[in-house]
Structure 1
Amino acid sequence: MAILEKNRIKLQATAVDKQDAIRQAGALLVETGCVEAAYVDGMLAREATMSTYLGNGVSIPHGQYENRGHVKQTGISVLQVPAGIVWDEDDEDELAYLVIGIAAQGDEHMTVLSNLAEAIEDPDMAEALARTDDVNLILKALNGVPDSV
């Protein structure tokens, strides 16, 4: 099973703020059986302690250590917000266009993070993913498929 599947990608989304975006990314994980609903609260709590903004318009909200019991299967969700969301209230230029919810069992999060880092370290790729209307582009890039674009 792939880490990311079509039913965990929402294109052309809108969100009122980063908490709303995290809830939406978390809901995709809940609705597709990756996590229990309580995991989303952990995602919000984690964000309150440290920003999950990576740069290049990408944020990767995830639960805290104590939420690992709420993970049913490793997976990621993608909420694409073309208008962007202010991620840091102190820096309104820090906008997230891709909100990638992460749920991982055990040490699988290291593989997930490695695939994500490779896909989004290139600003052009990150922008392409933030603007695309092709779910398959996101699937290939974030599932670690080589030479995907």
Structure 2
Amino acid sequence: MSDILNPEMIRVPGTARDRDGAIREAGQILVDAGAATQGYIDAMFQREELVSTYMGNCLAIPHGTNEATGHVFRSALSVVKYEWPIDWDGNEVRFAVGVAGYEGGHLEVLSKIAIVFSREREVAKLIAAESAEELYRLLLSVNED
């Protein structure tokens, strides 16, 4: 299995200015990488309508609904870092991490991201990162088995 995250799937800075734009931006990276179809982005919006994907510590993890599995070709992450906070239903988000999980692989991926973002010191390092390469080095643990 290939790595779920590579430097080409990281954007610093992101261009979105609102929640919907951030979901679209994170989803489009997954589509462009060949991990999912355009329909998966629609499923990401459907998931957001069901329950917010805001996780705390400046992080949102937009991902599709369980019914969207046919739109995913491989497990992958997209990471978008915003210079200024995005309003995510009243919460400040600096990172939109798009998740495409193949054959149930999203739960492990979500867990790894949640662990990284649960540590305030690590979040401070991520916020201070100035390039996709720097963010990639800080997030390398998500590729470990």
Same-fold status (TM-score > 0.5): yes
Q: Does 1:101 align with 2:104?
A: no
Bigger fraction of residues in helix: 2
Structure 1 spans left out of the alignment, 5+ residues: none
Which deviates the most, 119-128 or 32-41?
119-128
Query: Runs of 5+ in structure 2 lacking a partner?
Result: none
CA distance in 2, matches of 1:127, 1:15: 21
Q: Give secondary structure in 2 for the equivalent of 1:106.
A: helix
Q: What TM-score results when the alignment is normalised by the length of structure 1?
A: 0.88
Matches within 5 A, 1:1-149: 1-88=2-89, 91=90, 94-144=91-141
What's the TM-score, normalizing by structure 2?
Answer: 0.91
Partner deviation per Cα, 1:25-48 (whole Å, 9 max, x = no partner): 000000010000000000011111
2:76, 2:62 → 1: CA distance? 13
Please give the alpha-carbon distance, in whole angstroms, between the structure 2 residues aligned to 1:143 and 1:40: 25
C-alpha contact (below 8 Å) 1:115/1:142 kept by paired residues = no
- What is the distance in 1 between the residues matched to 2:15 and 2:59? 15
> Alignment RMSD, CA only?
1.6
1:145 is displaced (CA, Å) by: 6.4
Separation of aligned partners in 2, 1:145 and 1:40: 22
